[in-house]
Amino acid sequence: MILYVNSCVREESRTDLLARAVLNKMGEPYQELYLPNEGLQPLSREQLNKRSALVSKADYTDQMFRYAKQFAAADKIVISAPYWDLSFPALLKLYIENIYAVGIVTEFDSSGRPRGLCQARRLIYVTTAGGPYVEDYSFGYMKALAEDYFGIPQTTLIKAEMLDVEGFDADKILADAISNLDSLSL
């Protein structure tokens, strides 16, 4: 199963449009998790204490682990995240905070090194940017988590940038990004 983690809040999101083109090219059924509808909140002290107590007992039956279980069970993951303020929407960070459960998405070996537990072999990160795109604090962060902590060996960045810069043709840039999907093995 492909898990589509959609953090696009705008109805006419260019990032979502590009991500759906990716999903269409993949040609497989997918399950969409539309983050704006999930009511995600930062983990409170009480929630963190509860999660820590449950993780220490390896008790993952609580509903608080549903996102982590879904993420860990996916065969492939597509994340759509517009490029905002040199990063991604805070909603995606809240999601990451909620899925990062030791014993479900990652564990630590006897030397303290992380070992990923996710089933996915690939994570595709889709973004669009109004200006130039710098991947350090968005895709770079997701790539490090996926590969180093979640055990997802292959990460791919698909982007369209310079969409709001005067003199650049946003429609053509987006169309070219979609057209370039044909050259990718997804």
Q: Which residues pair with 108 in a beta bridge?
A: 114
Q: Please give the structure tokens belonging to residue 93.
A: 């960070």
- The whole-number pLDDT of residue 83 equals 97
**3-class secondary structure for 116-163?**
ECCCCCEEEEEEECCCCCCCCCCHHHHHHHHHHHCCCCEEEEEEECCC
Q: How far is CA 170 from CA 14, 87, 89, 108, 129, in A?
A: 10, 20, 21, 45, 10
| Rounded CA separation 176/137 (Å) | 25
Given this model, what pLDDT does residue 53 score? 97
Residues 24, 25, 31, 36: is their CA dihedral positive or negative? Answer: negative
Asked if 19 and 80 touch (Cβ cutoff 8 Å), the reply is yes
Per-residue pLDDT at 186 = 86
Give pTM, 2 decimals: 0.96
CATH number of 2-183: 3.40.50.360
Task: Enumerate the domain spans of the chain.
Answer: 2-183
Q: CA 134: distance to chain centroid? A: 17
One digit per residue, the tens of pLDDT, for the chain of length 186 reads 999 999 999 999 999 999 999 999 999 999 999 999 999 999 999 999 999 999 999 999 999 999 999 999 999 999 999 999 999 999 999 999 999 999 999 999 999 999 999 999 999 999 999 999 999 999 999 999 999 999 999 999 999 999 999 999 999 999 999 999 999 888
